Chains A and B, each alone.
Chain A
Amino acid sequence: MTVTTDSVRSALELAPEHDHVDSHLHPEGSFDVADHEVPTGREEIWRFTPLKRLKGLHADAEFMRSATTSTWNTQEGVRVEGVSGDEARGLRGISGLVPNTRWAARVLAEVPSTLLIDVPADTEVAEPIVVDLDGTDAGVTEAGHVAMRFGRHSKAIVVLNHTGSSTVAAVVEIAVGDGADVTVVSIQDWADDAVHLSHHQARVGRDATYKHAAISFGGDLVRMDANVTYDGPGGSAELLGLYFADAGQHIEHRIFADHTAPRTKSHAVYKGALQGEKAHTVWVGNVLIRKVAEGIETYEENRNLVLTDGCRADSIPNLEIETGEIEGAGHASATARFDDTQLFYLQSRGISEKEAQRLVVHGFFNDLIRQVGVPSIEERLLTTVEAELAKNVLKDLGSLAAFGQDDNAPHDVLGSSRSAPSADNAAGTPR
C-alpha cells in the first residue's frame, strides 16, 4: 500500500507583492488550439494522470460522431435543448472560461453543438433537471459542450448522470446569475471501460449560491476539474465530491476556487474510498485568493479511506494568498485505513467485523451525502456505496443478494440480510 499525503505544498504560500505571480494557478488561457502544446505528462496539471489511458483525448484524438445518447426530463419554464451554429458559438465561454488546456480549447473550437440548459431569471424549478448521458461505445472518442445559464434570482438543481461506455472529453460551463441558488451534480457511474475527461467551469454571480457535487464510481479513468470564479462580491461556492475507486481505476478530482471578488466564499469537501490493486485516486485542491478578494472565507478538505492493500491516494491542498485581508482560510487532508478503535467499539457490541466496517464506511460518507441535498440522489448514493462495499469488504457476507430485494426493508441500506428493518435510516435520511 502506498498512502501519500503531500503536505509540503499545502503550507500557506504568501505570494510576493508584484503583479506577476509565478504559479500554475495563473495560466494564460487561449481559445486558439495552436497556442496549447500537447502535454507530455510532466506538467503540474498532468503529473498524476496516466495519459496513455486517455486514448488521445488530451492530444489530438478525433472527436467522432457521438455514440452517447442524451435524454432529459422537461421542467416548466426551463429550456433544455441541443443547439448549434451561431447560438452554440455564442455559448462558448459563457462561464468566463478561457481554455488552459489543448483538449478544452479543441472542444470549444471543434464541437458543433452545445447542450443548453437555460433557466430564466426569477424562475424556481421545483424538481431536479436530470440529463442522462448513456455511452454505448468506449471505442468512439468524442467530445461535448454543455452550457448552463441560470438567470438572476433563479433556483434550480441540475443532475448530469453519466452511465455506460464512453471515451469523452467534456466542457461544462455554468453561469450563475446574481442572487441565484444553483446546484449542479455530476454523477460518473460509468462502465469499467469508460474514459472521461471533464472541465466544469462556473462563474458565480453577486450574492449567488452555487453548489457543485462530483460523484465518481465507475470508469477506467475519470478526471474532472471543477473550477469556480466569482462575478461579484458575496458569492458562495460549495464544492463537494464523493468517489469510490476499485482495482485499476484512476479517479482524479481537481478543484480550483479562484477568489476573484471580495467577500466570496468557497467550501470544499471531497471524500473517497479506495479498494483493490492499483486503485488510484487524486485530489488536488487549489484555492487562489487574489489581491482584490478581501474578506473572503475558504476551507477545503479531502479525506480518503483506504480499505485494502495496493491502493494509492494522492491528496494535495494548495492555497495561494495574495492579500492579507481574509476572514478565514483553512484546509485539511487525511488518508487513513480503518480506525481500529472504532471497529473494536462496534465489535464489542456484538457487531461482526464486516458489519462494523460497513457501518464505518457508510458513516464516512453519510454526512457528505446529506450535504449534496438532493433526496432522489441520496438514496441512489447509499445504494451505490453499498454495491461498492459488496465488491470487497462485504464479499463474504452475501448481503447484497438480500439487499434491495428485501420487500420488508427496501430502504435499509445499512441492514444486512440478517439485519434490522429500516427505522431511522429510511425515515431519517433527508433530515
Chain B
Amino acid sequence: MSKLEINDLHVTVDTEDGPKEILKGVTLTINDGETHAIMGPNGSGKSTLAYSIAGHPKYTITGGTVTLDGQDVLSLSVDERARAGLFLAMQYPVEVPGVSVSNFLRTAKTAIDGEAPKLRTWVKDVNAALEQLNLDPSFGTRNVNEGFSGGEKKRHEIAQLELLDPKVAVLDETDSGLDIDALKTVSEGVNRFRAREGKGVLLITHYTRILRYIEPDFVHVFVDGKVAESGGKELADQLEANGYDKYVNAVTA
C-alpha cells in the first residue's frame, strides 16, 4: 500500500524581507499505484513542493498536512521520511566529495532496510541497476555526483530509486537536460519501478516530452504555488498546444 495525501499545504521560505509564501494551499492525493504528473512554469513552486515533502530545512510549513499511508510525514526528520518510504529524485543532485557511490548506496540501503543487504546479491543488484541505466560498473568507485555529467547525475538518481525501492517517488524535473537517449533510459527505469506492486509516482516536469515515455494517470497544472487544474493525460496535450499562458494570465489578472 502507498497513499500520499497532501492537504492544503502552505510553505514559506525566509528571505531578506521576511518569510515569503511559495506554496499557497496544495491539495493532492496519490493513491496506491498511481502516477501523477505536475506541470508548471518555472518559479511556480514545483521544487518547493518536492523539497517540502522531503523535509528540506530551508522551507517552513505554515499550514496543511502531508501523510503517507496515514502517517504524519511533516513531523518526521528528513531521514525518517526516507525510511518511511519517500524518495526524492532531485533536480540538482549534490556532490559529496570523497564518498564513493558504492559506499553511499550501501549505507543508504542499510539505513532504509534497517539491516545490511546480503553482500553477494547486493553487489549483483547494484551492478544490474547501474548497467540498466547505462552507467559503467566503475561508477561505483567514483565520488557521489562529483564530476558527473548532467545526464549521469539523473541516471544515478534513478538507479537509487530502483535500489532503495521506496513506496512513493517524487521526481523533480528528472527529464530536464537529458538528450533523447538518456530520457528513454531514465524513463525505462521509472517504468520498471512503476511496474512493481503499488508504487506511487509524483512526476514533476516543465515539458510534456517525458510523458510520452511515462504515461501518467493524472495531470495537474501547477501555477503560483497551487494546483490550477487537474485532469487526465489529455490535459498534457492541451498544455503542449497552448502552453501555460491561460493559467498564468488568470493568476495575474
Contact = CB atoms under 8 A, between A and B. Distances in A.
Given A342-B94, A353-B77, A367-B98, A423 B82 contact: no
Interface stretch (A9-17, A81-89, A357-365): A357-365
B94 A345 contact: yes
Interface stretch (A103-111, A215-223, A320-328, A413-421): A413-421
Given A350-B83, A352-B79, A421-B119, A359 B107 contact: yes
B108 A351 contact: yes
Contacts of B98: 362-367
Contacts of B109: 420
B116 to A, nearest CB: 4
A348 B54 contact: yes
B52 to A, nearest CB: 12
Nearest to B145: A345
B96 A350 contact: no
Contacts of A24: none
Contact of A423 (B54, B79, B106, B115): B106
A350 B104 contact: no
A425 B116 CA distance: 14
A421 B77 contact: no
A73 interface: no
Contacts of B94: 341-342, 344-345
A345 B107 contact: no
Interface in A378-431: 414-415, 418-421, 423-425, 428, 431
B182 interface: no
Contacts of A351: 79, 82, 107-108, 111
B140 A424 contact: yes
B116 A419 contact: yes
Nearest to B93: A345
A419 B97 contact: no
B78 A344 contact: yes
A300 interface: no
Contacts of B117: 420
Contacts of B97: 363-364, 367
A340 interface: yes
A133 B77 CA distance: 48
Nearest to B140: A424
B180 interface: no
B116 A350 contact: no
A223 B90 CA distance: 44
Contacts of B95: 342
Contacts of A424: 100, 102-103, 106, 140-141
Nearest to A361: B98
A348 B97 CA distance: 17
A356 B88 CA distance: 17
A346 interface: yes
A346 B112 CA distance: 12
Interface string B145-172: 0000000000000001000100000000
Given A346-B104, A349-B82, A418 B77 contact: no
Contacts of B119: 421, 423
Contacts of A136: none
Contacts of A367: 97-98
B191 interface: no
A359 B95 CA distance: 13
A407 to B, nearest CB: 14
B61 to A, nearest CB: 16
**Interchain residue pairs A-B with the least CB separation, the first 10:** A363-B98, A420-B116, A350-B82, A349-B108, A366-B98, A345-B94, A350-B111, A347-B78, A363-B99, A350-B112
23 contacts: A342-B94, A342-B96, A345-B93, A345-B94, A346-B104, A346-B108, A348-B55, A348-B82, A348-B88, A349-B79, A349-B111, A350-B79, A350-B82, A351-B79, A351-B82, A353-B77, A366-B98, A414-B107, A419-B107, A420-B109, A423-B103, A423-B119, A424-B106
Interface of A: 340-342, 344-353, 355-356, 359-360, 362-367, 414-415, 418-421, 423-425, 428, 431
Given A349-B164, A356-B79, 5 more contacts: A345-B93, A359-B103, A359-B107, A364-B98, A415-B110
